[in-house]
Amino acid sequence: MFIINCPYCGDRDQSEFKAGGEAHIERPKQPTELSDDEWAEYLFMRKNIKGDQFERWNHTHGCRKWFNMVRDTSNDEIKLIYKMGEKPPTK
């Protein structure tokens, strides 16, 4: 059970949150222009990294805001939390 530092509400128990999958997958602006393969890439393909993973989380049972998290999947260490719309750190 993590303690997650919601960028709006502060430290909260993980049970107040929901994970929302990989971060920074932007919805294509012109889906109709994409081939089946390109669309499938957006729709289905997700990374499953051992190490630093970029994730989306939602403070479902609190302020209901989405935010981004960098989490090391090998030891569950939360390395960074930043708001939606902010740029991911470059590695």
Partner 1 sequence: MPLNLRVKSSNFIDETTKVSFKFNGKTYHGFKGDTLASALLANNVHLVGRSFKYHRPRGIMTSGSEEPNAIVQVGNDKTITEPNVRATEIEIYEGLEATSQNCWPSVNFDIGGINNFLSPLLPAGFYYKTFMWPASFWEKYEYVIRHSAGLGKSPTKPDTDIYDHKYVHCDVLVIGAGISGIIAAKTAAQNGFKTLLLDEKNELGGTTIYQNSDNFKIDNKISSGWLSDQINELKKLDNLEIKTRTSVASFHGYNYLLARENLTDHLSKDEKKNKIRQRLLKIRAKKVIVATGSLERPLVFDNNDRPGIMLSSAIKKYADYYGVICGKKNIFFTNNDSAYESAISLFKKGINVQAIIDIREKSNSSIVKEAENLGIKIYWSHSVVDTHGYKKLKQISIMQLSKDGQSFGGLNKTILECDCLGMAGGWTPAVHLFTQSGGKLKFREEDQVFIPNKYPSKQISIGSCNGDFELDNIIKNSSNDVKKFLNIDKTDFDNLSVITSKEASKKNIWLLPSDKAIGKTKPFVDYQNDATAKDIKLALREGFRSIEHVKRYTTTGMGTDQGKLGNMHALGIIADTTGVKMGEVGTTTFRPPYTPLTFGTIVGRNVGEYFDAFRRTPMNDWHINNKAEFENVGQWKRAWYYPQNNETMHEAVQRESLATRESAGILDASTLGKIDIQGSDASEFLNRIYTNAWSKLGIGKCRYGLMLNEDGMVYDDGVTTRLSENHYIMTTTTGGAANVMAKLEDYLQTEWPELDVYLTSVTDHFATATIGGPNSKKILNKLIPDLDLSNENFPHMSFKEAQIGKIKCRIMRISFTGELSYEINIQANFGKSLWEKCIEAGKEFNITPYGTETMHLLRAEKGFIIVGQDTDGTMTPIDLQMDWIVSKKKYDFIGKRSLYRSDTMKEDRKQLVGLITDNPKEVLEEGAQIVSELNQSPVQMLGHVTSSYYSPNLNKSIALAVVRGGKNMIGKKLFVPMKNKSINITVVDPVFLDKENKRLNA
Partner 2 sequence: MLNYNSSLKEDKNYQGLTVREISPIMKLNLRGKSRDFLTTIGKNINMILPMEANTSSSSDNYTSMWLSPDEWMVLSNKIVDKENNNYDIEKLLFNKISKTKLGSVTDISDQFVMINLNGEKIFDLMSSGCPFDFSDFRLKVGSVTQTLLTHIDVIIHHKEANSVNLFVRRSFSEHLMSWINDSASRL
Residues in the site for partner 1, rule: CB under 8 A?
A: 1-3, 13, 18, 20, 26-28, 30-32, 34, 36, 39-40, 43, 56, 58, 60, 64-66, 75-76, 84-85
Give the Cα separation of 11 and 28 in Å (integer): 33
DSSP 38-67: HHHHHHH-----SSEEEEEEE-TTTT--EE
Q: Which of partner 2, partner 1, none lies near 22, with the C-beta cut-off 5 to 8 A by kind?
A: none
Pairing of strands 77-83, 52-58: unpaired
Q: Does 56 bind partner 2 (CB under 8 A)?
A: no
Q: Which of partner 2, partner 1, none lies near 81, with the C-beta cut-off 5 to 8 A by kind?
A: none
